[in-house]
Structure 1
Amino acid sequence: MKVRASLKALEQKPGSSVVRRHGRVLVINKKNPQWKARQG
């Protein structure tokens, strides 16, 4: 999982969903798990 300052580009990828867990913003992509990321 990558840690990024901005998740805007990853939100646009097909299959992406933005999730909030434990106060963190995560991007999870079932189609392409290499785009899994956390903000901050």
Structure 2
Amino acid sequence: MKIRRSLKALKDRPGSAVVRRHGKVLVINKQNPRWKARQA
């Protein structure tokens, strides 16, 4: 699956991680939860 540019931009924020759950690609960030994103 291709990763969207918007998710790649969020991946570079401090404290964020790219995770695959249930076939979806998520960007989670524990330091700043405002930077969450999902690609279905």
Q: Taking CA–CA contacts closer than 8 Å with sequence separation of 6 or more, which of the two structures ends up with the larger relative contact order?
A: 1
More strand by share: 1
Runs of 5+ consecutive residues of structure 1 not aligned to the other structure: none
User: TM-score with structure 1 length normalisation?
Assistant: 0.80
- Unaligned runs of 5+ residues in structure 2 are none
- Sequence identity of aligned pairs in percent? 72
- Aligned positions, number: 36
RMSD: 1.4
Structure 1 moving runs of 4+ over 3 Å: none
